Amino acid sequence: MSREFTIADDRRSVVGLGAVATVVALQRSRTRNSRFGLPPAPAPAGRAARRVRPPLVTEGDPAVSGQPDRPVTSRWLAILAFGLLATASQMLVVNYAAVTADAARHFGVSTTDIGWLTQVFPLVYVLLAIPAGLALDRFFKPSLILGAALTAAGAFLRLVHDDYTWALAGQVVAAVGQPLVLNAIPGLAIAYLAAKDRAAGIALASSATFGGMLVGFLIGSFLPGEQHIRTLTLITALVAMDAAFALVAALHLVKPLPGAELPTSGGLHTLRAALRNRFLRRLCALVVIPFGTFLALATFIQPLLEPAGVSESTSGYILALTMLASVVGCAVVPVWAARHRRQVQLMGLGIAFTAAACLHLALVPSALMAFITLAGIGFFLLPALPIVLELSERHVPEAENTAAALIWMAGNLGSVVVATAVGLLVASPTIAFLALAAITVLALPLLRWYQRLEDPTPGTEPFGQE
């Protein structure tokens, strides 16, 4: 495996995960904002209705104050402090990704070993997504503070001794704190922001995660060479420490909006309710392939196009355009689909387009074809993820946070499986693209399987619970 190949893998996978996390959080903000700024939807009947989270009452609510025109002041300091922590968390993720070869020489290990310093974050996230969600639902503020402490402790643990073992141990500790940090974005906005500001607040906090990756790459670019590896480690550790202190201080000094304290959930009861829901189980099966295909392309696009004469810098521009198209698509497509009730049809379009795009890349691999097809994949396929998340919150109102964690976990598992399969074929780009096309097509029967619940035929059971 070449040095360029490994560096490209680390960068593409990290940026792909960051983009997905950002757009999914943005879509969740729209759904949550509708609950607190607009008239609520009718509550579902039956047992589920009694478990739906009651709408939070904020300062200035006519039902409480009798003054409908009274302004509500958002507590932005808490959001800004959290943004600093989110930035620090993602700086740790990419700390060594921009200097993979230099770090390998510094620690005396292979570039593959250095890759694990980055890949440990999504792997730990898969394992801890559900426990972190349950902890935040039950003990929001203590769980968030624990996430900040683990982030800072992991960053400094890497400085105990200048070797690979301590670097990996520190990254693992910080990775354990990451789900407690990133999963707290919606809850923090609910507690500290007025309804009119929640979408902007969640967008700001989510953008901080992607900004942390960019800052991490920039610092690595400005400090190349193996002699600067410990300096890079120290810089990110100091940022993590300051961010943790800032968040703890903000949570202590800034009080939540009146009536905005998050109610506790039913713990494992919500997990059981989510797992019993047929809608959610089929959505989890559906999301595996689109998520996996997109991240496999983001991870391996440079080595797959390298035989066609596409340079690493050009691949970077292709990926940047893909991410931009993804963000635009996630801002436009899910909204249109929900308004016209075309979620399933739009997901089918994205899956079909992606399969056709992979087929075109297999037959005509070139920079121009990659620019066109990957931009289309970003615009049409990635919005399937926020669409699925919106559908899960609609069908599992009694366990929305746990449902989101299950879908996010399924997507990450899909990315690991599909990316691993493509990685085994990366030496044969044509076969790899054809395999991706075939894997993507498999999502269409899964989509139809889910649609049978959305549009049940006479004689079938439309209810979600079994």
Predicted confidence at residue 47, as pLDDT, reads 40
d(CA 255, CA 191): 9
The pLDDT of 378-403, averaged and rounded, is 73
Q: Which of 155, 337, 343, 338 is nearest to 238 (CA)?
A: 155
Q: What's the whole-number average pLDDT of the chain?
A: 76
Q: How confident is the model at residue 292 (pLDDT cuts 50, 70, 90)?
A: confident
Predicted confidence at residue 160, as pLDDT, reads 94
> Residue 363 — φ and ψ, nearest 5°?
-85, -35
Q: Which of 21, 409, 9, 385 is nearest to 209 (CA)?
A: 21
Q: How confident is the model at residue 265 (pLDDT cuts 50, 70, 90)?
A: low
User: What pLDDT, in 10s, does the model give residues 326-376?
Assistant: 767 877 787 788 778 888 888 999 999 999 999 999 999 999 999 999 999
With pLDDT > 70 as the criterion, what percentage of the chain qualifies?
73
Higher pLDDT, 431 or 318: 431
- The sign of the CA dihedral 16, 19, 25, 26 is negative
Range 143-179 burial, b when 16+ CB lie within 10 A, else e: bbbbbbbbbbbbbbbbeeeeebebbbebbbbbbbbbb
User: What pLDDT, in 10s, does the model give residues 50-73?
Assistant: 344 444 444 444 444 444 445 678
Q: Burial-class residue 225 by CB neighbours within 10 Å (0-12, 13-18, 19+).
A: exposed
Q: How confident is the model at residue 133 (pLDDT cuts 50, 70, 90)?
A: confident
The pLDDT of 216-235, averaged and rounded, is 83
Phi-psi region of 200 (alpha: psi -120 to 50; beta: other; left: phi over 0): alpha
Predicted confidence at residue 206, as pLDDT, reads 67
Predicted confidence at residue 400, as pLDDT, reads 58
Residue keyed to tokens 């570039």: 111
Predicted confidence at residue 32, as pLDDT, reads 45
The pLDDT of 431-446, averaged and rounded, is 93
Q: Is residue 55 helix, strand or coil?
A: coil
Predicted confidence at residue 170, as pLDDT, reads 96
Structure tokens at 85: 């922590």
Q: How confident is the model at residue 456 (pLDDT cuts 50, 70, 90)?
A: low
Most confident region among 238-247, 289-298, 421-430 by mean pLDDT: 238-247
Q: Is residue 277 helix, strand or coil?
A: strand
Question: Rounded to two decimals, what is the model's pTM?
Answer: 0.64
Predicted confidence at residue 64, as pLDDT, reads 42
Q: How confident is the model at residue 239 (pLDDT cuts 50, 70, 90)?
A: very high
Predicted confidence at residue 303, as pLDDT, reads 80
pLDDT at 181 over 60: yes
Cα Rg, the chain, nearest whole Å: 22
